[in-house]
Amino acid sequence: MTVTSTNDVPQDLLPAVAAGDLDAFEALYDRHSSILYGLLLRILNNREDAQETLQETFTQIWSRATMFDRERGSELAWVLSIARSRGIDRLRSRKVRSERESEAGQEISVISGGVENRSGMDSAVASQTGVLVRAALATLPEAQRKALELAYFEGLSQSEIASSLGEPLGTIKTRMQLGMKKLRDGLRPLFDK
């Protein structure tokens, strides 16, 4: 059963998307695309890659909407995890390609820039979300925050983080698990939308 808000817009659109409802898919895109694009831009630091990865993310959301389980997390958490995974895949693929081109003696230039073509509402939502995320991150102990930043914004695996920080893998896993629990609690207002 889908819970609806006061204006009759479904809180969870994914069950309707899973049933093939294009209007629900469009509403899902409108609801989450600016947040997902911001995350992808932060991970990839490249507008074109972020835009392409956003498209891939929504293609994956459409094809895997039946896998969404409200008991395991919110709609926002689910689409964020897909976007993050796609972004990290793109980042790693780009690193491999860069290494190959570098070995061949080619120069690679990376162009980065800010978010463009956003409406006032998109900017307001992204700004509010950013404030909540920064505030929640600031409450974490430094070790937990650093591990999560390396994973989510640098695209490092837990093994790579452990190596980078000179810490045991088990310690990194525990820090990330504790940090994610604290973040989830701190960001509850976003997940309950």
Domain regions of the chain by residue span? 8-116, 118-193
Would you say domain 8-116 falls under CATH 1.10.1140.10?
A: no
Q: Are 124 and 132 in contact (CB under 8 A)?
A: no
**What amino acid is encoded at 181 in this protein?**
K
Give the pLDDT confidence score for residue 108 in this predicted structure: 36
Q: How far apart are CA 152 and CA 193, in angstroms?
A: 22
Give the pLDDT confidence score for residue 78 in this predicted structure: 93
Instruction: Give the CA diameter of the chain.
Output: 60
Which comes out higher in pLDDT, residue 126 or 163? Answer: 163
| Structure token pair of residue 19 | 């049933």
| Structure token pair of residue 7 | 């204006």
- Helix (H/G/I), strand (E/B), else coil: 21: coil
| pTM for this model (two decimals) | 0.52
pLDDT digits (tens, 9 = 90+) for 135-174: 777 888 888 888 888 887 777 888 888 888 898 888 888 8
Q: How far apart are CA 150 and CA 160, in angstroms?
A: 9
Q: How far apart are CA 45 and CA 38, in angstroms?
A: 10
Residue 129 has pLDDT above 70, yes or no: no
Pick the CATH number of 118-193 from 3.30.70.240, 1.10.10.10, 3.40.50.1110, 3.40.50.300: 1.10.10.10
